Structure 1
């Protein structure tokens, strides 16, 4: 079965499952991958399935050679060797923690855990970025990790490559993925009307032909990517009638293995091809977890709008020194939160190391716990995450989103093991050893 057919088969199964749940007295539904409910002791955190990092493809010989050459150049440029052994990393982290305690400014940065959300649109130094952008994976296509704008190009290329094998189903996806939302929705509604008329009245001549100069067809179908391919798969062919172009339907021209009801279902069930947010995991030493700026990808608005927003805010502070009511402060806070699509989450371990991941603002607190759990050498370890301003998360907090908890655009959480003394925890490494290879030299 092709990837396109598997996509629609999965959608059909999901729709049937939802219908079954909705039409029966089975009670409240639950996620298939959710753990079975157990009677948890009071105050304990629910267990969650660990976030599974994506599998990385093995490096080719050419890529290994290029990497080795790059490392050689770096070594020539900077003769200081960076030892990635566990002992060396622990020693480096301890030295930097001591330096933090001696320096008041570093201590203030560590205790607040804040990261500057200033946009880089004004030409900031990219070396200070907390991460180089927001990255995604697309399970339907492959294991690559790319920015969203690059995935749009790859998805379009992929769909057009599938046209010859599954023209009708693929073209339905092209309509949704290669056009703006409004054009896609108008086109789909018009095509469904054409096909449903034919299903009900297959012998009626007026439904078997479409004048290509017709205003509705020209405005809503003709110039939408994928639309003419859907019509071709449905059995329409371009002909000349009285020297005017028409699309004429013939049942014999239907794509093999396809019928009009199936095409109508495909149009109704088509959607944007799903991208999965990549956590873009980083492991940082204390000195690397300093104040940095977030890339523009974290914002809902454009760099120009960010700059304008900052100017307006500065002007408002200067010109309006008035006392604000609680409602005014809350409205301003909500407006600020809505500026962001993503949040940068850092978790600090007792030995001074940090892990960093990217989250959608509408992901849940439980997703952060799953992410941290997947990074632990012992994934069965019971642990708490403590927000420096809010304290520990409760079981009720697990279903709240980062937006609900105002953990935007960034947050520092402290890793804590119940019952373990701080000195003992500071001497332990909790992370998987392969993650330590992500520690970068300064």
Structure 2
């Protein structure tokens, strides 16, 4: 069933790409005419951009000349890629500023669309990916709305499996979801076990079990419809009419299909979001200025956090007593559990810092892999050290969480090549460039 769900999402991705490919053509059509007509449809008026000013050209030439000198100087210790990235950004900014096509109104609209973020925040927020649906990077709330919209769009084509995914992905309380799933499965199992019993083929919608366990859960009615139930008025013994869900055998291919639906209900899982690392590359001065964490990093609301800090301060004032190591560690862990996410910065010998966002329950091997995949020489072994000088070991510390390693809420780790490759590093000046060029393009402007 897990493979079936995976194939379901793969098919939806392929369908989406197919729709974006544009209209098709008959094989009998003239290739030249069809291609020319397509070209004419895609033609966009070309905006002529003004060239760089003479001052900008002189500045660019001077910057590139400095780069050439520093490349020939092996003792130069600043990342060459960082300087190249900065020069490229300056040239791009000059092009944008000198372009007559950039209007004030479009600039104003872009400014209005961008969220206002305090300059001293280490990150603008917490963002996620959902590889099953798309490669977009969005906040959690936006993803929840997108997932819900995506699933409801699929109901017409794959009602049964989609309803299972809606039940597991669009509701919050896991206990209520589990109760609903078991109740729905019981309804379907009764039909399979007692196919001739009429009482198992009707569900009174005012029934307490149904109205409390099933109806409030989003997607449950859609699943019952996929199982062959239709809503209709049924007369009671006293002549009054009530709303019932009535099973119609002709609405399903076979009774065996209900067994498949039960399996899907019990095996389906919520559509998972993956935390985006929100990669940043900072100069030392920028890292010193960007220290504050936004509210989304906290497990408590800001009001609850302030109240707890106030109570803690009052308690400390009342009891000025000696504290044991165990008591201090207990308080330290309690303090760290206020956070859901952590900022990890890795300082390289050239002063550049690589920053990523992690869940506090992720393990050290996630940090190690994050650094490794962004290194220019990712195949070489390296070490990361904590501010206290503790060397983190990928073999011993791989499964320890960020809380276990006391890396919450924000920590700067120091990068160093492993001693086993020290001689190789000394013989290769190129190893003085640590991060990949495409990552160094993320260097933020001062």
TM-score, normalised by the number of residues in structure 1? 0.71
Taking the TM superposition and a 5 Å limit, the aligned residue runs for 1:5-154 are: 5-6=5-6, 87=67, 90=79, 126-154=118-146
Q: Is the 8 A contact 1:84 1:436 kept in 2?
A: no
How many angstroms apart in 2 are the aligned matches of 1:6 and 1:86?
53
Taking the TM superposition and a 5 Å limit, the aligned residue runs for 1:422-441 are: 428-441=432-445
Classify 1:93/1:240 alpha carbon distance in 2 versus 1 (closer, same or farther; 3 Å).
closer
Q: Name the structure 2 match of 1:221.
A: 214
Q: Secondary structure at the match of 1:399?
A: coil
Classify 1:85/1:211 alpha carbon distance in 2 versus 1 (closer, same or farther; 3 Å).
farther
Aligned-pair distance for 1:93? 8.3
Q: Name the structure 2 match of 1:295.
A: 294
Q: Which moved more, 1:356-365 or 1:306-315?
A: 306-315
Aligned-pair distance for 1:324? 1.8
Aligned-pair distance for 1:350? 0.4
Aligned-pair distance for 1:170? 0.6
Q: Is the 8 A contact 2:81 2:437 kept in 1?
A: no
Q: Name the structure 1 match of 2:346.
A: 347
Q: Secondary structure at the match of 2:199?
A: helix
How many angstroms apart in 2 are the aligned matches of 1:440 and 1:307?
32
Q: Higher RCO, 1 or 2 (CA under 8 Å, sep at least 6)?
A: 1
Q: Which has the larger radius of gyration?
A: 2
Q: Is the 8 A contact 2:81 2:433 kept in 1?
A: no
Aligned-pair distance for 1:138? 0.2
Q: Name the structure 2 match of 1:179.
A: 171
Classify 1:206/1:93 alpha carbon distance in 2 versus 1 (closer, same or farther; 3 Å).
closer
How many angstroms apart in 2 are the aligned matches of 1:340 and 1:262?
41
Q: Aligned match of 1:203 in 196, 199, 208? A: 196
How many angstroms apart in 2 are the aligned matches of 1:193 and 1:138?
32
How many angstroms apart in 2 are the aligned matches of 1:255 and 1:127?
60
How many angstroms apart in 2 are the aligned matches of 1:217 and 1:90?
65
Q: Is the 8 A contact 2:159 2:226 kept in 1?
A: yes
How many angstroms apart in 2 are the aligned matches of 1:86 and 1:370?
34
Q: Secondary structure at the match of 2:432?
A: coil
Q: Is the 8 A contact 1:84 1:439 kept in 2?
A: no
Q: Is the 8 A contact 1:296 1:303 kept in 2?
A: yes
Aligned-pair distance for 1:85? 11
Aligned length: 354
How many angstroms apart in 2 are the aligned matches of 1:298 and 1:246?
47
Q: Is the 8 A contact 1:343 1:409 kept in 2?
A: yes
Aligned-pair distance for 1:180? 2.2
Q: Is the 8 A contact 1:211 1:245 kept in 2?
A: yes
Q: Name the structure 1 match of 2:23.
A: none
How many angstroms apart in 1 are the aligned matches of 2:344 and 2:434?
18
Gaps of 5+ in 2: 11-42, 53-58, 71-77, 84-115, 236-240
Gaps of 5+ in 1: 11-60, 73-78, 95-123
Q: Is the 8 A contact 1:175 1:227 kept in 2?
A: yes
Aligned-pair distance for 1:315? 2.2
How many angstroms apart in 1 are the aligned matches of 2:378 and 2:210?
57
Classify 1:310/1:439 alpha carbon distance in 2 versus 1 (closer, same or farther; 3 Å).
same
